[in-house]
Amino acid sequence: MALDEALFWSCDRPTLRCYRWLRPSISFGYFSEWDVVFERYPDRDLVRRWTGGGIVEHGKDFTYSLSLPVNETLPKSRDLYRLVHESIAETIRSNGQSLEIAVVPDANRSDACFDRSVEFDLKLNNLKIAGAAIRRHRVGLLLQGSIQRVHLPPDFGQQLAWRLSEEVHLSVPGQAVIESARRLETQKYSSTEWNRRR
């Protein structure tokens, strides 16, 4: 979460970050209630996201973030959500798997992100496999997403990047971004004040 935010603050062009988790963990949206999350997952590492959305189980999923600076023409959140999920769908289909794009939200209510689909989420065999959350700010936009319950090839992140852009450059975060992420991790994402905020 800290590195996603550090990349957001520093990016001067669209930046896609793809990553995995070292152990089973839980991220939960900015507006989620700590008590609900902790009661459900008392033995997991828990972290509040800067973006919204529900509770997401991590461990075997493919997680990504997309940072767009304000110097880009920023799409409406709904349009970006659709564009990113259509790109994910095309990438998965090109690897031989069929899926559907949700047209209407599921009727059930749930705090768990993958228990309920919203418009433009991806589903396979009637199970949600991809969801995301967005944070808009005056300097840009951050989208954080997870893909679960589906086999992805090792180079899926690169395939997705090429679906999202006509020009792709592989890079490693610089020292300034790493230091910023470390500060955010210490001062924000690992703090009780942030994670248990009301």
Q: Is 113 a catalytic residue?
A: yes
Which amino acid is present at 60? K
In degrees and rounded to multiples of 5, residue 129 shows phi and psi of -120, -15
Which residue among the candidates 26, 113, 133, 181 is catalytic per the annotation? 113
Under 8 Å between Cβ of 130 and 136: no
* Closest by CA position to 81, among listed 16, 38, 145: 145
Distance CA 72, CA 13 (A): 7
Report the helix count and the strand count for the chain, using DSSP H and E.
6, 9
Distance CA 8, CA 67 (A): 5
Tokens of 107: 């009727």
Question: Mind telling me the catalytic residues?
Answer: 113
